[in-house]
Chains A and B, each alone.
Chain A
Amino acid sequence: MIYPALNHYMLVSAALFAVGLYGVLSRRNAVGVLMSIELLLNSVNIALVAMSRYLGQNGAASGQVFAIFVITVAAGEASVALALLIAVYRSHGGVDVESVNSLQG
């Protein structure tokens, strides 16, 4: 048995995902929601890289390549989200997600 085993990494990943989910649901500041989304993406990356390490065939780097794509998408998502936040800040005077309800019926 090799320590740390795959299960340990998966548990860390699950814990980080749960923490990030709590942040997304409970934060009122939109920047806080954005930061929690980054935590979620990071937890998925840990799972991908760990599985690639423990379960992959020799020379199969797909897990790490997937992680690179996730990082790329996260970078694009962060830049667009920042621009959205600035637009919301300009039109609503704040980034409290509970005050941005102009589309509510």
Chain B
Amino acid sequence: MPGDLGLAISFYLLAAITLVSALMVVSLRNIFHAGLFLVLTFVGVAGLYLTLNAAFIAAVQVLVYGGAIAVLMLFAIFLTRNAMTQGNLPGRFRFPAMAMASIIFVVFGYVFLMTRWAPGSAGQVYIAPDQVSGVLLTEFVFPFEMASVLLLAAMIGAIVLARTPAEEETKA
């Protein structure tokens, strides 16, 4: 089936792009370059969502991660500027961290490969974007409203935390 073959090829390509750029994110010394690879990782994950027929999530991923969060990260890099010239010195926990991550990967991979997934795993479900919004605004309407309260709290919290002390004095 040519459709399945194309899907498989694009999946492996996107998975390779995502994982390689994720490795770059955690290993590059220059934090600015790591931030650029982070954007590539987000776009790769959005492509993976497209191979899963989750078009709405893919669009949200590009908008929120590829747009907003990536810009926030680059802002963070530039606002904490001397960290950029200093680069990313190797931490003390480098080898324990590598061991820990390898153990997690091996355990998760073993569990995922050994699990007998539910019988439905042979078939695939297509979920249209309007179904997502329908469920979001009926069954999950309370969490949906809570999410907006959470975003408001995060916004106010961010403003309070980032406010300069000088502004406080001029106001008082």
Interface residue ranges, A against B (CB under 8 Å): 1-12, 14-23, 25-32, 34-36, 38-39, 42, 45-46, 49-50, 52-62, 64-65, 67-69, 71-80, 82-87, 89-90, 93-96, 98
A89 touches B80 (CB 8 A): yes
Chain A at the B interface: SS class:
helix
Contact of A35 among B34, B86, B113, B124 (CB under 8 A): B34
CB-CB nearest in chain A for B14 = A12
B127 touches A76 (CB 8 A): no
Closest approach, in angstroms, between the C-beta of B168 and any C-beta of chain A? 13
Could you tell me which residues of chain B, from 93 to 120, have a CB within 8 Å of some CB in chain A? 93-94, 96-98, 100-102, 104-105, 108-109, 112-113, 117-118, 120
Chain B at the A interface: SS class:
helix
- 9 extra A-B contacts, CB within 8 A, seeds A8-B15, A35-B34: A6-B121, A11-B112, A26-B94, A31-B31, A53-B52, A60-B135, A64-B54, A68-B60, A79-B154
B160-172: CB near A (< 8 Å → 1, else 0) gives 1110100000000
Measured in the bound complex, the distance between the Cα atoms of B107 and A15 in whole Å is: 11
B119-144: CB near A (< 8 Å → 1, else 0) gives 01110110100011011100110010
A79 touches B150 (CB 8 A): no
Closest approach, in angstroms, between the C-beta of B80 and any C-beta of chain A? 5
Could you tell me which residues of chain B, from 1 to 33, have a CB within 8 Å of some CB in chain A? 4, 7-8, 11-12, 15, 18-19, 22-23, 25-26, 31
